[in-house]
């Protein structure tokens, strides 16, 4: 699994909005933001104005769980339909070890994608159905800090090591960990 923060934006605007809510300065709003960040029920809605874009390569089984988070986020991915046939599959395309004979079988299905459109469609569906859950997919995941805070609260101690890696990375790399109830 690979994780990289591409960009964070909106902090200044979020602080301006918070300062309007309290009739104060932006500097005072920054102090207030830290106090309100862990208070739900609308008190921390300013977190919705701080956005973060991530570049993540993770196994399909992890993405299935990540797809739980739909509000306040969007994902753009490597489309399996459009990209699976462009390169031979190798061990590095999977989270864990996949038997070499099975990878050869997947590459046979991949090679069948050329020619007759019906055969191509059938072989593509067969290939997609045969892909192991550990197949790595890259996505750009855009979300706001409120969504990220929710993920961190729910997944920091999750049984899957990929969630633990995600949370650890975010703790040490986001610009404003104090607004997520985290410290670097």
> Which of 127, 172, 131 has the alpha carbon at shortest distance from 4?
172
Whether 81 shows a pLDDT value over 90: the answer reads no
Say if residue 8 is in the same domain as residue 95: no
Query: What domain count does the chain have?
Result: 2
Say if residue 141 is in the same domain as residue 123: no
Say if residue 113 is in the same domain as residue 173: no
Say if residue 150 is in the same domain as residue 70: yes
Could you tell me how many residues make up the chain?
184
Say if residue 96 is in the same domain as residue 164: no
Stretch among 99-103, 123-127, 132-136, 170-174 having the lowest mean pLDDT = 123-127
Whether 184 shows a pLDDT value over 50: the answer reads no
SS3 letters across 3-37: EEEEEEECHHHHHHHHHHHHCCCHHHHHHHHHHHC
Say if residue 13 is in the same domain as residue 102: no
CATH number at residue 59: 3.30.1360.170
What confidence tier does 119 reach under pLDDT thresholds 50, 70, 90? low
Q: What is the pTM of this model?
A: 0.89
Say if residue 68 is in the same domain as residue 142: yes
Say if residue 65 is in the same domain as residue 14: yes
What was the pLDDT predicted at 40? 84
Say if residue 68 is in the same domain as residue 150: yes
* DSSP code per residue over 90-142: -GGGBSS---HHHHHHHHHHHHTTSS-HHHHHHHHHHHHHHS-TTBEEEEEEE
Say if residue 14 is in the same domain as residue 71: yes
> Higher confidence at residue 107 or residue 83?
107
What mean pLDDT do residues 75-88 have? 84
What confidence tier does 115 reach under pLDDT thresholds 50, 70, 90? low
What confidence tier does 182 reach under pLDDT thresholds 50, 70, 90? low
Domain assignment of residue 49, given as a range: 2-77+136-180
Determine if residue 104 is left, alpha or beta; phi over 0 gives left, psi from -120 to 50 gives alpha, anything else beta: alpha
What mean pLDDT do residues 97-109 have? 95
């Amino acid at each position: 699994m690979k994780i990289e923060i591409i960009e964070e934006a909106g902090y200044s605007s979020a602080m301006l909005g918070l300062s309007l809510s309290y009739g104060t300065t932006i500097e005072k709003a920054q102090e207030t933001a830290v106090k309100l960040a862990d208070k739900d029920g609308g008190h921390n809605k300013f977190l919705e104005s701080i956005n973060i874009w991530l570049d993540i390569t993770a196994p399909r089984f992890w993405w299935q769980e990540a797809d739980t988070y739909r509000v306040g986020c969007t994902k753009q991915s490597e489309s399996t339909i459009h990209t699976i046939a462009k390169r031979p599959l190798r061990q590095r395309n999977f989270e864990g070890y996949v038997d070499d004979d099975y990878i050869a079988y997947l590459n046979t299905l991949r090679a069948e994608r050329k020619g007759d459109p019906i055969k191509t469609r059938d072989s593509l569906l067969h290939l997609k159905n045969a892909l192991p859950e550990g197949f790595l997919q890259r996505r750009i995941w855009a979300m706001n800090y409120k969504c990220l805070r929710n993920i961190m609260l729910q997944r920091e101690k999750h049984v899957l090591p990929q969630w633990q890696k995600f949370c650890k990375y975010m703790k040490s790399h986001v610009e404003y960990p104090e607004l997520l109830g985290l410290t670097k």
